[in-house]
Structure 1
Amino acid sequence: MSSSAVRDRHHVVEIGPEDGPVVMLAHGFGCDQNMWRLVVPELAQRFRVVLFDHVGSGRSDLSAWQEERYSSLDGYADDVLEICRELDLREVVLVGHSVSAMIGVLAANREPDRFAKLVLLTPSPCYIDDDGYRGGFSREDIHELLESLDSNYLGWSAAMAPVIMGNPERPELGAELTNSFCATDPRIARVFAHTTFLSDNRADLAEVTVPTLILECADDAIAPPEVGAYVHAEIPDSQLLTLAATGHCPQLSAPEATSAAIASFVTASR
């Protein structure tokens, strides 16, 4: 696939100095690259910021979506690597939000020489509680969530997006996430949701060899503090920073703190 085809498939956008460090921003479930808009202006002053939409999201080429490929996070990790290869991106700092944090882990584990650092923004390697592990949800919770999504995606979006976003005193944020969810093709969203909430990437964390920053929020209904602590403990030599922010999307609710933390980590020596 040619570089232009890859750009079109993922609606790749590049902003900032061409010779700056590469910061690649990967959005989470039900979102698109527009979710980064409040942190991009600050980052693009110093870094070459690469934005893209996962296939099935935003302005990506929906005809490229295949259920078999995207029923696993491996398909998304393959896409990240393909974008990097086709655009000849090297020494990449990949910032992965929510499920894209684990997509970033998979990509970096496959081609560690391609990446300089990882920033995992509100990550979770497994959403389901297990013996000695708290993911935040029981298996019954997740199955009920997915059954509700399967039966009435728009209703599920309206109910869940404000919970995911948090910050009830700022209802416009929850409304934005609801609209983003509702703009996603329901069939694609159902598959991505099952892929996201049933994934278990705990075993992949110990394989990470690139410097990693874990950014969590002080209050996050989707990724509680125990999850951030677990990811930090499992990734060798990682750093954990708790933002004074609430909700699962600090790039919208606390963009200044989020962009500052990313920028500081990018420019820090290894």
Structure 2
Amino acid sequence: MLDLKKLQYFLTVAEEGHITKAAKRLNIAQPPLSHQLKVLEQDLGVQLLQKVGRNIQLTEAGRTLRTRGEQIFELVKTVEKELQDVCNGGTGTLSIGSATSWGATFLSEQIAEYNLRYPNIQFRICEDVGHNIVSLLTNGVIELGVILPPFNTELYEAIPMPAEPLMAAMTNKWDDQPSRSDASLTELAKKPLIVHRRSERLLVYYQENKLEPQIVCIHDDVRSMLLLANTGLGVAIVPKTITRSKFGDGLIYKEITKPGSRLTPYIIWMRNRNLSAAARNFVRMITENK
């Protein structure tokens, strides 16, 4: 069985890259630390560390253990927090994962409002691609995730957040109707498009209407989509809130209204896992604001 104390020793050595520095930080002598690391390797049956000059480097197994070990300690912290916060949602930390670049924009107003209600709650926001957010949620590293559908509704409870209009971001090169502030998906099909990887509804619309859009790029990061649009590569389809970022400076934005197209992110959490009071309060607030 993996010993958490030995794991903490290993993670400290991995972070410091040097046995002596790690021993000093842990306030123990170097020989006992080296011995504990050897015992850990024997327990696991793998080599975790290798000496390169005066420094320590991780083997492939060591890199894997470092990643998982950090997640284990995050999970331990989560468990401790849950135990301390069973009946009181007024203090503690709320861990939320959101999709890279656009997710945090949806959360900003909700976090600000929640902070007014519960000023002693600290937020820990993890940004990553959608499938990694789901993995962090499943592993218990975060309590709530903000992602776009689809997701497994048998595994996750979910509530929709406020829908967000979609915008077409472009340079003058692709703006053939400068007097208009809106655009339709049918019109945009004739232009090179930069779309997000999770744009299933957009593609379904084109398929149902027997249109063949000119998709020049599929991307995971909305910020990078705006940067690409700024080069004149094509028209980026992005949520409205991200248009306020510096990445979109200099672009022309047109709301996609014909047909109406809106993006609806969801807050999700594990069905078989109890939420902390802080997380329950956050979900309740989102529900009240719907």
Structure 1 and Structure 2 fold alike (TM over 0.5)? no
Structure 2 length-normalised TM = 0.33
Larger Rg: 2
Structure 1 length-normalised TM = 0.35
Q: Which has the higher strand share?
A: 2
